[in-house]
Structure 1
C-alpha cells in the first residue's frame, strides 16, 4: 500500500483505503479497526493523499504530503508532541519546524490539524507506508 491507495473524503472523518473503482464512483474501506465500507460517488469530493501538498513560499510553491509525513516520521516517529487539540500557536510552530518555509497565509490551522490526524491514522493503521519510505531512503544512501 502507498499514498495513492489512501484517500480522504470531504465530510467524512479519517482516512480510507481505496478498494476498487466502480462504474459510478469508488469503493472505500476505513483505515481504522472498524473496516467500514463506503461507496463514494462522483459527487463526493475525494482526495488521494499522493495528490495533496502543503503550500510553501519557496520557488516550487508546495511540498508533497508524502515528504511532510517522511520528515515527521524521521524526526518524531510516533510521538509528535502536539495533537489536533493543541493551541493554534503550537500547531503552527510544529509545522514551521517540519517545513520552515510553509506559507502561513495559505495553510490554515485546520489544515495542520488534518495533517496531524492523518499522520496519527497512518502510524496506527498503516505504519508500513511510513517505514517503507524510510528504509528506501537508507538503501539509497548506502548505494551512493
Structure 2
C-alpha cells in the first residue's frame, strides 16, 4: 500500500494526491474526481502515512489499520458503510483493531478511516502486503524538505 503522497486536507472532503510543489504551496489532485487544486502552506494538511490511532498499548499507524481492513475484506470495499450507526462502526472496528482505545478513538475517526479506505480501495491503492518502510521514510523526508524549502524561500522575499 503506497499512501506516502496521499493527503487529507482540512475543510476539503475526500483524499488528495500530492503532485508538485509551487511557490505558494503545492498542487494536489482529488482522488474522487481528479480535479487539481492548489494548497497554500497555511492549510492544515495531513499525510496519511503520518496518521496513527490510539490503542491501549501504543499508537497504531493508519497504514497498518488499512492493511488489516484489506486483509479482512480481501482487498475489497468495507462490508460496513461509513454512514452506519456508531454501534455498528465500533463493532466493526473492534474486529479490525481489537485493542483500540475506545475512549480516545471517536466514531467520527472510524468513519474517516472507513471512508478513506473505500476511496483508496476504489483506486486500487490498498494491499494486504507489508509496506516498504524505507521508501515511506524517504518520501516523508523529501516532502518535509520541499515544504521547508518553500517556506524559507517565501520568507526571504
Deviation at 1:80, TM superposition (A): 2.1
CA displacement 1:30-83 (0-9 Å, x = unmatched): 012x2111111111110000000011111xx21101000111101113242211
Q: TM-score, length-normalised on structure 1? A: 0.84
| 81, 84, 87: which one aligns with 1:86 | 84
Query: Matches of 1:12 and 1:79 in 2, distance apart?
Result: 22
Q: 1:89 to 1:73 in 2, by over 3 A?
A: same
Query: Matches of 1:31 and 1:79 in 2, distance apart?
Result: 16
Q: TM-score, length-normalised on structure 2? A: 0.78
Alignment of 1:11-90 (within 5 A): 11-32=11-32, 34-58=33-57, 61-76=58-73, 77-90=75-88
CA displacement 1:6-45 (0-9 Å, x = unmatched): 000001000000001222211100012x211111111111
- RMSD of aligned alpha carbons: 1.8
Query: Matches of 2:21 and 2:92 in 1, distance apart?
Result: 36
Secondary structure of 2:28's counterpart equals strand
Query: Matches of 1:38 and 1:3 in 2, distance apart?
Result: 19
Q: Which has the higher contact order (CA 8 A, sep 6+)?
A: 2
Secondary structure of 1:8's counterpart equals strand
Deviation at 1:84, TM superposition (A): 1.2
Q: 1:110 to 1:40 in 2, by over 3 A?
A: same
List alignment gaps of at least 5 residues for structure 2. 133-157
Aligned residue pairs, count: 131
CA displacement 1:63-122 (0-9 Å, x = unmatched): 101000111101113242211111101101111111111011111111100001000000
- 2:114 is the counterpart of 1:119: no
